[in-house]
Amino acid sequence: MRRRQFCRVFGCTMAWSVLPGSITTAAADSIEDIGYWRRFSQELTPARDPRAAKAHAIFDRLVEVADKRRDVKLQLWIAASDPWQIGLPIAIRDGWIVLSKGVLEMCYREPTWGEDRLAFVLAHEMAHQLHDDLWHVRFAQAFEAQRLQDPALPQILEQLPHTQREAERVRERELRADESGMRYAALAGFNPHAIITQSSSEHFFAEWVRVLEPRFPGIGSVPPTPQERAEHLRAHLQRVANATSMFIIGLWSYYAGNYPQAIRAFEAFRSVFASREVLHNLAASYHQLALQAYEKWQPKPQTFPFQLSLLIEPLTRASRNYLERTRGPGAEPEAVFRQCLDKAIQGYEEALAQESYFTPALLNLGAALILRGFHTRKVGPIHRDFSQATARLSSAPEQMPPSPASLNNLGVALFYEERPERAKEALTLASTLAPDYAAPVFNLAVIARAEQRAAEAQRYMQRYEQITAWLTPQPPRAPQSQETLSLGSYAVHLGLVERAIPPSIDRPTRSPVVVDETTFTMVTYPSGVMTLVLDGELIMLMAREGYQGQSVQGVGIGSREADIITRYGPPSRRHETTHGQNWTYDTQHIAFQFRNRKVVTWLIF
């Protein structure tokens, strides 16, 4: 009976991973090691199956946005066969995730959603790795012991969940991995609704159960049954997917410079999942509002003389729309600046409470503390903000060397701590590590001027101007025509009434989401187009990876930075992100997102 129970629990489990513990058989001793799997099956290489190449590309995108652990390097290996005749995703020790060909076949059974579903499966396994929740390997050990007719099988089965309480713990762990996996997939640009289709009976988990159940005909059930888990997950993932749309709205609004809308969306998402990413992005949105207020309060360009690095956006001119609309007591620019900057600092601290070495939050927190310190009177012998900024920016462990951006901010903090020699060392190192990085060169020029070394300051400024020549401000280019995206032979544009789109086009999925009592609808088309709808009207459009069309000036997915400059000129705003850049063109109402200096998506707003 215990063997039946283990098969039933295994059949309802989406992901398998490792729990530290003693294993009694020789085969089980090695099953946690990648060498075992390489002996067990041939590798399905990209040369043998294009889907394997796609799986590795998807995996790399997910690694960029997933949580980080210093002791885990995530890696993927794909088996050309299915161990024990079962489609297998399994997380083993040392960061390895093993996938089998059967998983690729299942995910691509409906080609429209193949990449999105595969992204979720991989992201789910990543979550098990990063949560150090690697317990499902015991099922694999049991299958292997059964295959080898190992006498230790009864002892292995004893370690498997077989009571209601144990099954509930299984469910909790799986749901946690589902939450994180859905978030990673969405952050990497995949559609979370691909996991859940429109029908309550036809969805990815039901398909998964149908594939597993025939392997064990006539086996008795142990709660939760596969169907129960599938239905529970469907309801749960529907909530996660809808919440993820809030995150996407926040990100799009941030790219478009609508920081108040970004704040509302990130706040709504935080109420569901207070992840470090949303805490950081919420803080960064407040940070941008603070910079807008700062520009209005201190309009002279050299009020704050240095250039600080933000992982989301450098200290550049931003839209003043928010401040122009701000009215009432306490809404003076200085008050808005201080209030928003304090909220940004609080948000970065909350993100760092989840992971103390989360680089984006460390970098941005340092920038915020420096700017606040510049406008705060020192009390006592140490300026608290500058001291804290220096401590935070210097806190990375030895195996995590500081980035050029962190060194740039650290140099500024050290200068204000009255340690100019160390400041220059940090800035020089930043410039050496990234010769095309302009901010530390500019800051070295500022220090040289402050120390009355005019010739040296001039040399730094000449180098700075050479680096930034391509970003020389130019009159904004008038758009040739309104930006559109193609749905088959049908063109969609901002302001279009959604009901004008023929309902037969491209089988979209729809996700209503409420942000601050306003109901939006996120619509995803398999051809690579996403739209945001408000009151029946298209208010934002995005071209995702896979979109085959071009912008009105001939830019497509895969275009290089130089192509964008040629066609659109320098951007009005640039956002540095954790995995690339965003360039926004306010006059043309378009923003391009880059990874490895190539366009991966673009937004029309």
Question: CB-based contacts of 324: which residues, under 8 Å, 6+ apart?
Answer: none
Q: pLDDT digit string (tens) for 154-186?
A: 665 555 555 556 566 766 777 788 878 887 887
Average pLDDT over residues 5-34: 41
Mean pLDDT over the full length of the chain: 80
CB 278 within 8 A of CB 249: no
Average pLDDT over residues 378-383: 86
Does residue 145 register a pLDDT over 60? no
Does residue 230 register a pLDDT over 80? no
Angle between helical axes of 50-65 and 164-187 (0-180°, round to 10): 90
Distance separating alpha carbons of residues 64 and 558, to the nearest angstrom: 18
Question: What pLDDT score was predicted for residue 197?
Answer: 59
Structure tokens at 429: 């190192």
Long-range contacts at 196-205 (CB < 8 A, ≥ 24 apart): 196/234, 196/237, 196/238, 196/241, 197/113, 197/509, 198/509, 200/234, 203/230, 203/234, 204/113, 204/117, 204/120, 205/14, 205/229, 205/230, 205/233, 205/234
Question: What pLDDT score was predicted for residue 501?
Answer: 92
Between these two residues, 314 and 208, which has the higher pLDDT value?
208
Question: What pLDDT score was predicted for residue 143?
Answer: 59
CB 140 within 8 A of CB 16: yes
Structure tokens at 158: 């004893």
Average pLDDT over residues 82-105: 82
- Judged by average pLDDT, the poorest of 34-43, 208-217, 574-583 is 208-217
Average pLDDT over residues 295-316: 71
- Judged by average pLDDT, the poorest of 38-52, 179-193, 224-238, 378-392 is 224-238
Q: pLDDT digit string (tens) for 517-539?
A: 899 999 989 889 999 999 999 99
Q: pLDDT digit string (tens) for 441-494?
A: 999 999 999 999 999 999 999 999 999 887 665 565 666 789 999 998 899 999
**Confidence (pTM):** 0.72
Average pLDDT over residues 431-440: 94
Average pLDDT over residues 178-196: 78
> What pLDDT band is residue 147 in, cutting at 50, 70 and 90?
low
φ, ψ for residue 204, nearest 5 deg: -60, -40
Does residue 416 register a pLDDT over 50? yes
Between these two residues, 509 and 9, which has the higher pLDDT value?
509
- Percent of the chain surpassing pLDDT 90: 42
Question: What pLDDT score was predicted for residue 220?
Answer: 36
- Which run of H or of E encompasses 167? helix 164-187
Domains of the chain: 2-235 (no CATH), 274-434 (1.25.40.10), 484-604 (2.60.460)
